[in-house]
Chain A
Amino acid sequence: MAKTTRLIIVGGSAAGPSAAAKAKRVNRDLEVMIFEKGDFVSYGA
Protein backbone atom coordinates (compact mmCIF):
# COMPACT_ATOMS: atom_id res chain seq x y z
CA MET A 1 0.00 0.00 0.00
CA ALA A 2 1.27 3.46 -0.92
CA LYS A 3 2.19 5.70 1.97
CA THR A 4 -0.32 8.46 2.66
CA THR A 5 1.30 11.88 2.48
CA ARG A 6 1.45 13.59 5.85
CA LEU A 7 0.90 17.32 6.35
CA ILE A 8 1.92 18.75 9.71
CA ILE A 9 0.63 22.13 10.83
CA VAL A 10 2.35 24.03 13.63
CA GLY A 11 -0.22 26.25 15.36
CA GLY A 12 -3.99 25.98 15.76
CA SER A 13 -5.42 29.51 15.97
CA ALA A 14 -6.64 30.95 12.66
CA ALA A 15 -4.20 30.25 9.82
CA GLY A 16 -3.47 26.66 10.96
CA PRO A 17 -7.05 25.34 10.96
CA SER A 18 -7.78 27.20 7.69
CA ALA A 19 -4.79 25.48 6.08
CA ALA A 20 -5.81 22.11 7.49
CA ALA A 21 -9.41 22.35 6.31
CA LYS A 22 -8.45 23.47 2.80
CA ALA A 23 -5.74 20.82 2.42
CA LYS A 24 -8.19 18.11 3.44
CA ARG A 25 -10.80 19.36 0.96
CA VAL A 26 -8.24 19.35 -1.86
CA ASN A 27 -6.95 15.89 -0.99
CA ARG A 28 -9.07 13.66 1.25
CA ASP A 29 -6.31 11.04 1.50
CA LEU A 30 -3.88 13.47 3.10
CA GLU A 31 -3.07 12.82 6.75
CA VAL A 32 -3.38 16.21 8.46
CA MET A 33 -2.09 16.86 12.00
CA ILE A 34 -2.33 20.16 13.88
CA PHE A 35 -0.10 20.76 16.91
CA GLU A 36 -1.19 23.58 19.22
CA LYS A 37 0.73 24.49 22.37
CA GLY A 38 -2.28 26.09 24.08
CA ASP A 39 -5.60 24.77 25.41
CA PHE A 40 -7.79 25.74 22.49
CA VAL A 41 -7.97 25.24 18.74
CA SER A 42 -9.47 27.62 16.18
CA TYR A 43 -9.79 30.40 18.78
CA GLY A 44 -8.52 33.32 16.72
CA ALA A 45 -10.17 35.50 14.07
Chain B
Amino acid sequence: MRTPEQFKEKQGIDVFLRHRVRRLDPRAGRIEVEDIDKGETRALDFDKLVLATGARSRRLGMPGEEAENLFTLKDLGDGIRLKAYIDREQPKRVGILGSGYIALEMAEAFRTRGLETTIFYRGTRPASHLEPEIGDWIRKELDEKGVQFLPEHTPLSFVRNGKGKIVALETSKGQYPLDLVLSALGVVPNTEIAAEAGIGRGETGAIRTDEGQQTDHPGIYAAGDCCEVYHQILEGPVYMPLGDVANKQGRVAGENAAGGKATFDGVIGSSCFQVFSLQVASTGLTEKTARGKGLDVGVQNIEASSKVHYMPGAEPLLLKIVFERSSGRLLGGHMAGREGVARRINTLAVAVQSRLTVQSLSKMDFAYAPQFSGAFDPILIAAEQALKKL
Protein backbone atom coordinates (compact mmCIF):
# COMPACT_ATOMS: atom_id res chain seq x y z
CA MET B 1 0.00 0.00 0.00
CA ARG B 2 1.20 3.50 -0.83
CA THR B 3 0.01 7.02 -0.11
CA PRO B 4 -1.22 9.55 -2.69
CA GLU B 5 1.89 11.65 -1.86
CA GLN B 6 4.16 8.75 -2.85
CA PHE B 7 2.29 8.36 -6.13
CA LYS B 8 2.76 12.06 -6.84
CA GLU B 9 6.43 12.26 -5.89
CA LYS B 10 7.69 9.03 -7.41
CA GLN B 11 5.49 8.68 -10.47
CA GLY B 12 3.79 12.02 -11.06
CA ILE B 13 0.36 10.41 -10.72
CA ASP B 14 -2.49 12.35 -9.09
CA VAL B 15 -4.50 10.20 -6.69
CA PHE B 16 -7.80 11.45 -5.30
CA LEU B 17 -9.13 9.41 -2.36
CA ARG B 18 -12.76 9.54 -1.25
CA HIS B 19 -13.78 10.64 -4.73
CA ARG B 20 -16.61 8.74 -6.35
CA VAL B 21 -17.10 8.80 -10.12
CA ARG B 22 -20.86 9.08 -10.55
CA ARG B 23 -21.33 9.26 -14.28
CA LEU B 24 -19.45 8.61 -17.48
CA ASP B 25 -20.27 10.22 -20.81
CA PRO B 26 -18.21 8.32 -23.38
CA ARG B 27 -19.22 10.54 -26.33
CA ALA B 28 -18.30 13.82 -24.68
CA GLY B 29 -15.26 12.21 -23.01
CA ARG B 30 -16.35 13.49 -19.63
CA ILE B 31 -16.90 12.18 -16.12
CA GLU B 32 -18.73 13.56 -13.13
CA VAL B 33 -16.82 12.99 -9.93
CA GLU B 34 -17.97 13.66 -6.38
CA ASP B 35 -15.68 14.71 -3.57
CA ILE B 36 -17.38 12.63 -0.86
CA ASP B 37 -16.19 14.76 2.10
CA LYS B 38 -17.05 18.12 0.53
CA GLY B 39 -20.22 16.81 -1.12
CA GLU B 40 -19.22 18.62 -4.32
CA THR B 41 -19.50 17.21 -7.82
CA ARG B 42 -17.49 18.47 -10.76
CA ALA B 43 -17.13 17.51 -14.42
CA LEU B 44 -13.77 16.55 -15.89
CA ASP B 45 -12.77 15.89 -19.49
CA PHE B 46 -10.59 12.95 -20.44
CA ASP B 47 -8.84 11.76 -23.55
CA LYS B 48 -8.54 8.15 -22.40
CA LEU B 49 -10.25 6.33 -19.54
CA VAL B 50 -9.60 3.09 -17.63
CA LEU B 51 -12.45 1.49 -15.70
CA ALA B 52 -10.98 -0.34 -12.72
CA THR B 53 -14.10 -0.30 -10.58
CA GLY B 54 -13.50 -3.72 -9.03
CA ALA B 55 -16.09 -5.95 -7.43
CA ARG B 56 -18.13 -6.07 -4.25
CA SER B 57 -19.11 -8.88 -1.91
CA ARG B 58 -22.13 -10.87 -2.98
CA ARG B 59 -25.08 -10.45 -0.62
CA LEU B 60 -27.52 -13.13 0.45
CA GLY B 61 -30.52 -10.85 0.18
CA MET B 62 -31.67 -12.01 3.63
CA PRO B 63 -33.14 -9.62 6.25
CA GLY B 64 -30.58 -8.85 8.95
CA GLU B 65 -27.64 -8.66 6.58
CA GLU B 66 -27.13 -5.03 7.64
CA ALA B 67 -26.58 -6.08 11.29
CA GLU B 68 -23.48 -4.59 12.95
CA ASN B 69 -22.10 -8.07 13.70
CA LEU B 70 -22.26 -9.30 10.09
CA PHE B 71 -19.14 -8.65 8.04
CA THR B 72 -17.94 -9.16 4.51
CA LEU B 73 -14.28 -9.09 3.57
CA LYS B 74 -13.36 -7.49 0.29
CA ASP B 75 -10.89 -4.73 1.00
CA LEU B 76 -8.51 -3.38 3.61
CA GLY B 77 -11.20 -1.26 5.28
CA ASP B 78 -13.40 -4.37 5.78
CA GLY B 79 -10.49 -6.14 7.47
CA ILE B 80 -9.72 -3.21 9.76
CA ARG B 81 -13.39 -2.93 10.82
CA LEU B 82 -13.69 -6.67 11.48
CA LYS B 83 -10.51 -6.78 13.57
CA ALA B 84 -11.58 -3.72 15.59
CA TYR B 85 -14.99 -5.30 16.25
CA ILE B 86 -13.42 -8.53 17.54
CA ASP B 87 -11.02 -6.60 19.79
CA ARG B 88 -13.87 -4.51 21.21
CA GLU B 89 -16.75 -6.99 21.51
CA GLN B 90 -14.79 -10.21 22.18
CA PRO B 91 -17.19 -12.54 20.32
CA LYS B 92 -16.86 -16.25 21.10
CA ARG B 93 -18.76 -18.02 18.33
CA VAL B 94 -18.32 -17.09 14.68
CA GLY B 95 -20.27 -18.47 11.75
CA ILE B 96 -18.87 -18.33 8.22
CA LEU B 97 -21.23 -18.44 5.25
CA GLY B 98 -19.62 -19.85 2.13
CA SER B 99 -16.66 -22.12 1.54
CA GLY B 100 -14.32 -20.53 -0.98
CA TYR B 101 -10.77 -19.44 -0.19
CA ILE B 102 -11.76 -16.28 1.71
CA ALA B 103 -14.03 -18.39 3.94
CA LEU B 104 -11.28 -20.97 4.49
CA GLU B 105 -8.48 -18.48 5.11
CA MET B 106 -10.70 -16.61 7.55
CA ALA B 107 -11.65 -19.86 9.33
CA GLU B 108 -7.95 -20.25 10.05
CA ALA B 109 -7.64 -16.61 11.20
CA PHE B 110 -10.66 -16.84 13.56
CA ARG B 111 -9.56 -20.20 14.96
CA THR B 112 -6.03 -18.88 15.53
CA ARG B 113 -7.60 -16.11 17.65
CA GLY B 114 -9.36 -18.77 19.70
CA LEU B 115 -12.88 -18.26 18.35
CA GLU B 116 -15.30 -21.17 18.09
CA THR B 117 -15.55 -21.34 14.30
CA THR B 118 -18.25 -22.96 12.17
CA ILE B 119 -18.55 -22.98 8.38
CA PHE B 120 -22.12 -23.25 7.09
CA TYR B 121 -22.23 -24.44 3.51
CA ARG B 122 -25.06 -25.53 1.27
CA GLY B 123 -22.78 -27.87 -0.70
CA THR B 124 -21.07 -31.03 0.47
CA ARG B 125 -17.34 -30.19 0.50
CA PRO B 126 -15.15 -27.13 1.08
CA ALA B 127 -13.82 -25.30 -1.99
CA SER B 128 -16.40 -26.82 -4.33
CA HIS B 129 -14.90 -25.02 -7.34
CA LEU B 130 -11.95 -27.42 -6.98
CA GLU B 131 -11.74 -31.19 -7.25
CA PRO B 132 -13.80 -33.20 -4.70
CA GLU B 133 -10.66 -35.16 -3.76
CA ILE B 134 -9.00 -31.84 -2.77
CA GLY B 135 -12.14 -30.85 -0.86
CA ASP B 136 -11.86 -34.03 1.21
CA TRP B 137 -8.29 -33.15 2.19
CA ILE B 138 -9.35 -29.63 3.17
CA ARG B 139 -12.20 -31.06 5.25
CA LYS B 140 -9.75 -33.30 7.09
CA GLU B 141 -7.49 -30.33 7.83
CA LEU B 142 -10.45 -28.30 9.17
CA ASP B 143 -11.53 -31.22 11.38
CA GLU B 144 -8.01 -31.65 12.75
CA LYS B 145 -7.65 -27.93 13.52
CA GLY B 146 -11.01 -27.68 15.29
CA VAL B 147 -13.08 -25.81 12.69
CA GLN B 148 -16.59 -27.20 12.44
CA PHE B 149 -17.65 -27.71 8.80
CA LEU B 150 -21.39 -28.19 8.37
CA PRO B 151 -22.26 -29.39 4.85
CA GLU B 152 -25.74 -29.10 3.37
CA HIS B 153 -26.59 -26.32 5.80
CA THR B 154 -28.33 -23.68 3.72
CA PRO B 155 -28.74 -20.34 5.55
CA LEU B 156 -32.45 -19.47 5.81
CA SER B 157 -32.66 -16.49 8.17
CA PHE B 158 -30.96 -14.60 10.97
CA VAL B 159 -32.37 -14.51 14.49
CA ARG B 160 -31.91 -11.01 15.90
CA ASN B 161 -32.23 -9.46 19.34
CA GLY B 162 -34.04 -6.21 20.19
CA LYS B 163 -31.02 -4.14 19.12
CA GLY B 164 -30.93 -5.74 15.68
CA LYS B 165 -27.83 -7.80 16.42
CA ILE B 166 -27.65 -11.32 15.00
CA VAL B 167 -27.77 -13.91 17.81
CA ALA B 168 -28.32 -17.08 15.77
CA LEU B 169 -28.45 -18.47 12.25
CA GLU B 170 -31.40 -20.53 11.12
CA THR B 171 -30.32 -23.11 8.55
CA SER B 172 -32.02 -25.92 6.64
CA LYS B 173 -30.67 -28.26 9.34
CA GLY B 174 -31.43 -26.28 12.49
CA GLN B 175 -30.60 -23.15 14.47
CA TYR B 176 -27.10 -22.20 15.65
CA PRO B 177 -26.29 -19.45 18.20
CA LEU B 178 -23.62 -17.01 16.94
CA ASP B 179 -21.92 -13.79 18.08
CA LEU B 180 -20.40 -12.88 14.72
CA VAL B 181 -21.12 -13.70 11.08
CA LEU B 182 -18.71 -13.52 8.13
CA SER B 183 -20.49 -13.65 4.80
CA ALA B 184 -17.99 -14.93 2.22
CA LEU B 185 -20.12 -15.81 -0.78
CA GLY B 186 -17.90 -14.49 -3.54
CA VAL B 187 -18.02 -11.20 -5.43
CA VAL B 188 -19.99 -9.51 -8.18
CA PRO B 189 -18.42 -7.03 -10.62
CA ASN B 190 -19.07 -3.29 -10.19
CA THR B 191 -20.45 -2.43 -13.62
CA GLU B 192 -23.04 0.26 -12.85
CA ILE B 193 -21.06 3.21 -14.26
CA ALA B 194 -20.19 1.23 -17.39
CA ALA B 195 -23.76 -0.03 -17.86
CA GLU B 196 -25.26 3.47 -17.58
CA ALA B 197 -22.74 4.68 -20.14
CA GLY B 198 -23.81 1.95 -22.56
CA ILE B 199 -20.53 0.03 -22.38
CA GLY B 200 -21.00 -3.62 -23.33
CA ARG B 201 -20.95 -6.47 -20.87
CA GLY B 202 -20.53 -10.15 -21.59
CA GLU B 203 -22.64 -13.15 -20.63
CA THR B 204 -20.81 -13.32 -17.31
CA GLY B 205 -22.22 -9.90 -16.42
CA ALA B 206 -18.76 -8.34 -16.27
CA ILE B 207 -17.41 -5.74 -18.73
CA ARG B 208 -16.34 -7.22 -22.05
CA THR B 209 -12.99 -6.18 -23.52
CA ASP B 210 -10.76 -7.09 -26.43
CA GLU B 211 -7.26 -8.54 -25.96
CA GLY B 212 -5.93 -5.00 -25.54
CA GLN B 213 -8.37 -4.44 -22.60
CA GLN B 214 -10.39 -1.95 -24.67
CA THR B 215 -14.18 -1.93 -24.22
CA ASP B 216 -16.59 -1.54 -27.14
CA HIS B 217 -15.98 2.22 -26.83
CA PRO B 218 -12.66 3.32 -28.40
CA GLY B 219 -10.37 4.96 -25.85
CA ILE B 220 -12.19 3.42 -22.88
CA TYR B 221 -10.48 0.44 -21.28
CA ALA B 222 -11.38 -1.89 -18.43
CA ALA B 223 -9.18 -3.99 -16.16
CA GLY B 224 -9.41 -6.08 -13.00
CA ASP B 225 -12.40 -7.46 -11.10
CA CYS B 226 -14.94 -5.40 -13.07
CA CYS B 227 -14.22 -7.16 -16.36
CA GLU B 228 -14.03 -10.55 -18.00
CA VAL B 229 -10.91 -12.45 -18.88
CA TYR B 230 -10.23 -14.81 -21.78
CA HIS B 231 -9.78 -18.45 -20.75
CA GLN B 232 -7.27 -20.14 -23.06
CA ILE B 233 -8.49 -23.70 -22.48
CA LEU B 234 -12.22 -22.97 -22.55
CA GLU B 235 -11.56 -20.61 -25.50
CA GLY B 236 -13.99 -17.99 -24.27
CA PRO B 237 -14.48 -15.26 -21.67
CA VAL B 238 -14.91 -16.12 -18.00
CA TYR B 239 -15.27 -14.11 -14.81
CA MET B 240 -12.22 -14.83 -12.66
CA PRO B 241 -11.57 -12.00 -10.22
CA LEU B 242 -7.99 -12.60 -9.04
CA GLY B 243 -5.35 -10.09 -7.96
CA ASP B 244 -2.56 -11.21 -10.27
CA VAL B 245 -4.90 -11.09 -13.27
CA ALA B 246 -6.04 -7.59 -12.28
CA ASN B 247 -2.47 -6.32 -12.19
CA LYS B 248 -1.63 -7.84 -15.57
CA GLN B 249 -4.78 -6.47 -17.20
CA GLY B 250 -4.15 -3.08 -15.63
CA ARG B 251 -0.66 -2.92 -17.07
CA VAL B 252 -1.96 -3.72 -20.57
CA ALA B 253 -4.81 -1.18 -20.27
CA GLY B 254 -2.34 1.48 -19.11
CA GLU B 255 0.13 0.82 -21.92
CA ASN B 256 -2.59 1.00 -24.57
CA ALA B 257 -4.21 4.08 -23.06
CA ALA B 258 -0.78 5.72 -23.40
CA GLY B 259 -0.63 4.81 -27.09
CA GLY B 260 0.96 1.35 -26.95
CA LYS B 261 -0.10 -1.94 -28.48
CA ALA B 262 0.02 -4.47 -25.64
CA THR B 263 -2.14 -7.57 -25.37
CA PHE B 264 -3.25 -9.74 -22.49
CA ASP B 265 -3.51 -13.29 -23.78
CA GLY B 266 -5.70 -14.60 -20.97
CA VAL B 267 -5.58 -17.17 -18.23
CA ILE B 268 -5.81 -20.91 -17.73
CA GLY B 269 -7.15 -20.62 -14.18
CA SER B 270 -4.17 -21.01 -11.85
CA SER B 271 -4.57 -20.34 -8.15
CA CYS B 272 -3.20 -21.35 -4.78
CA PHE B 273 -4.00 -20.77 -1.12
CA GLN B 274 -3.29 -22.24 2.25
CA VAL B 275 -5.62 -23.32 5.04
CA PHE B 276 -3.75 -23.97 8.30
CA SER B 277 -0.80 -26.12 7.21
CA LEU B 278 -2.41 -27.45 4.04
CA GLN B 279 -1.34 -25.93 0.73
CA VAL B 280 -3.89 -26.11 -2.08
CA ALA B 281 -3.06 -25.32 -5.70
CA SER B 282 -4.84 -25.71 -8.98
CA THR B 283 -4.29 -24.98 -12.67
CA GLY B 284 -6.36 -25.50 -15.82
CA LEU B 285 -9.67 -27.34 -15.90
CA THR B 286 -11.20 -29.54 -13.23
CA GLU B 287 -12.65 -32.89 -14.28
CA LYS B 288 -16.16 -31.47 -13.96
CA THR B 289 -15.47 -28.37 -16.09
CA ALA B 290 -13.69 -30.45 -18.73
CA ARG B 291 -16.62 -32.88 -18.94
CA GLY B 292 -19.01 -29.93 -19.11
CA LYS B 293 -17.07 -28.74 -22.14
CA GLY B 294 -17.89 -32.07 -23.80
CA LEU B 295 -14.30 -33.32 -23.86
CA ASP B 296 -13.33 -37.00 -23.72
CA VAL B 297 -11.83 -36.77 -20.25
CA GLY B 298 -9.40 -39.03 -18.43
CA VAL B 299 -8.14 -38.44 -14.89
CA GLN B 300 -5.31 -39.79 -12.79
CA ASN B 301 -5.18 -39.47 -9.02
CA ILE B 302 -2.01 -40.25 -7.12
CA GLU B 303 -0.76 -39.87 -3.58
CA ALA B 304 2.98 -39.43 -3.36
CA SER B 305 5.63 -38.06 -1.05
CA SER B 306 6.63 -34.40 -1.47
CA LYS B 307 10.31 -35.44 -1.27
CA VAL B 308 12.09 -38.76 -0.72
CA HIS B 309 10.29 -40.34 2.23
CA TYR B 310 13.34 -40.63 4.50
CA MET B 311 14.11 -36.89 4.28
CA PRO B 312 12.99 -34.67 7.17
CA GLY B 313 9.81 -32.78 6.39
CA ALA B 314 8.57 -35.22 3.73
CA GLU B 315 4.78 -34.99 3.54
CA PRO B 316 2.17 -36.86 1.53
CA LEU B 317 0.61 -34.93 -1.31
CA LEU B 318 -2.41 -35.50 -3.49
CA LEU B 319 -2.11 -34.89 -7.22
CA LYS B 320 -4.90 -35.20 -9.75
CA ILE B 321 -4.34 -34.57 -13.42
CA VAL B 322 -7.06 -34.14 -16.01
CA PHE B 323 -6.36 -34.91 -19.66
CA GLU B 324 -8.04 -35.52 -23.00
CA ARG B 325 -8.04 -39.26 -23.66
CA SER B 326 -7.97 -39.12 -27.45
CA SER B 327 -4.95 -36.81 -27.75
CA GLY B 328 -3.33 -37.10 -24.32
CA ARG B 329 -3.40 -33.31 -23.97
CA LEU B 330 -3.08 -32.16 -20.36
CA LEU B 331 -6.11 -30.04 -19.35
CA GLY B 332 -5.57 -29.47 -15.65
CA GLY B 333 -3.62 -30.30 -12.50
CA HIS B 334 -4.75 -30.09 -8.87
CA MET B 335 -2.78 -30.58 -5.69
CA ALA B 336 -3.01 -30.54 -1.90
CA GLY B 337 -0.42 -31.26 0.76
CA ARG B 338 1.62 -29.68 3.53
CA GLU B 339 4.80 -29.29 1.52
CA GLY B 340 5.96 -28.86 -2.07
CA VAL B 341 2.56 -28.00 -3.55
CA ALA B 342 2.28 -24.29 -4.33
CA ARG B 343 5.51 -24.13 -6.37
CA ARG B 344 5.09 -27.51 -8.05
CA ILE B 345 1.76 -26.38 -9.55
CA ASN B 346 3.61 -23.95 -11.82
CA THR B 347 5.28 -26.86 -13.62
CA LEU B 348 1.80 -28.11 -14.47
CA ALA B 349 0.66 -24.59 -15.39
CA VAL B 350 3.46 -24.39 -17.98
CA ALA B 351 2.46 -27.82 -19.32
CA VAL B 352 -1.25 -26.95 -19.56
CA GLN B 353 -0.66 -23.54 -21.12
CA SER B 354 1.86 -24.96 -23.63
CA ARG B 355 -0.63 -27.67 -24.55
CA LEU B 356 1.69 -30.50 -23.63
CA THR B 357 0.46 -34.09 -23.70
CA VAL B 358 0.84 -36.53 -20.82
CA GLN B 359 3.15 -38.47 -23.19
CA SER B 360 5.57 -35.50 -23.31
CA LEU B 361 5.09 -34.69 -19.64
CA SER B 362 6.04 -38.23 -18.60
CA LYS B 363 9.44 -37.74 -20.30
CA MET B 364 10.37 -34.39 -18.76
CA ASP B 365 13.88 -34.03 -17.38
CA PHE B 366 13.18 -32.59 -13.93
CA ALA B 367 15.94 -31.75 -11.47
CA TYR B 368 16.35 -34.31 -8.68
CA ALA B 369 17.82 -34.32 -5.19
CA PRO B 370 16.15 -36.25 -2.34
CA GLN B 371 15.42 -33.16 -0.23
CA PHE B 372 13.29 -31.71 -3.08
CA SER B 373 11.49 -34.68 -4.67
CA GLY B 374 11.70 -38.37 -5.45
CA ALA B 375 13.77 -39.60 -8.39
CA PHE B 376 10.39 -39.80 -10.05
CA ASP B 377 8.64 -36.54 -9.23
CA PRO B 378 4.91 -36.92 -8.40
CA ILE B 379 4.15 -35.17 -11.72
CA LEU B 380 6.15 -37.80 -13.63
CA ILE B 381 4.41 -40.61 -11.72
CA ALA B 382 0.96 -39.21 -12.50
CA ALA B 383 1.78 -38.67 -16.19
CA GLU B 384 3.26 -42.17 -16.51
CA GLN B 385 0.17 -43.75 -14.99
CA ALA B 386 -2.11 -41.64 -17.18
CA LEU B 387 -0.52 -43.20 -20.29
CA LYS B 388 -2.40 -46.42 -19.55
CA LYS B 389 -5.71 -44.60 -19.84
CA LEU B 390 -5.27 -43.04 -23.28
Interface residues of A (CB under 8 A from B): 5-24, 26-28, 30-45
- Majority-rule SS of B interface residues: mixed
Interface centre among B2, B48, B50, B77 (most CB of A within 10 A): B50
Interface residues of B (CB under 8 A from A): 1-4, 7, 11-21, 24, 31, 33, 36, 44-54, 75-77, 193, 221, 223-226, 243-244, 246-255, 257-260
Q: How many angstroms from the CA of A44 to the CA of B243 in the assembled complex?
A: 7
- The chain B residue with its CB closest to the CB of A20 is B13
Smallest Cβ distance from A41 to chain B, in angstroms? 5
Provide 7 A-B residue pairs closer than 8 Å at the C-beta atoms, listed in order of the A residue. Answer: A17-B2, A18-B247, A18-B250, A22-B258, A23-B254, A39-B17, A40-B17
* Given A15-B52, A15-B225, A35-B33; A21-B1 close (CB under 8 Å): no
Q: Decide if A33 touches B16 in the complex (CB within 8 Å).
A: yes
Q: How many angstroms from the CA of A15 to the CA of B12 in the assembled complex?
A: 18
Q: How many angstroms from the CA of A8 to the CA of B248 in the assembled complex?
A: 18
* Given A35-B21, A40-B77; A21-B13 close (CB under 8 Å): yes
Q: Decide if B257 touches A13 in the complex (CB within 8 Å).
A: no
Q: Decide if A12 touches B17 in the complex (CB within 8 Å).
A: yes
Smallest Cβ distance from B283 to chain A, in angstroms? 19
Q: Which listed residue (B15, B31, B258) contacts A26, Cβ 8 A?
A: B258
B36 neighbours in A (Cβ, 8 Å)? 37
* Given A6-B46, A33-B14, A41-B7; A14-B33 close (CB under 8 Å): no
- The chain A residue with its CB closest to the CB of B3 is A41
Q: Which listed residue (B13, B44, B45, B259) contacts A24, Cβ 8 A?
A: B13
Smallest Cβ distance from B173 to chain A, in angstroms? 36
A9 neighbours in B (Cβ, 8 Å)? 49-50, 52
B13 neighbours in A (Cβ, 8 Å)? 17, 20-21, 24, 32-34
Q: Decide if A7 touches B247 in the complex (CB within 8 Å).
A: no
* Given A27-B258, A35-B20; A13-B247 close (CB under 8 Å): no
Smallest Cβ distance from B230 to chain A, in angstroms? 16
Q: Decide if A20 touches B1 in the complex (CB within 8 Å).
A: no
A11 neighbours in B (Cβ, 8 Å)? 51-54, 224, 226
* Given A28-B12, A36-B17, A42-B1; A18-B47 close (CB under 8 Å): no
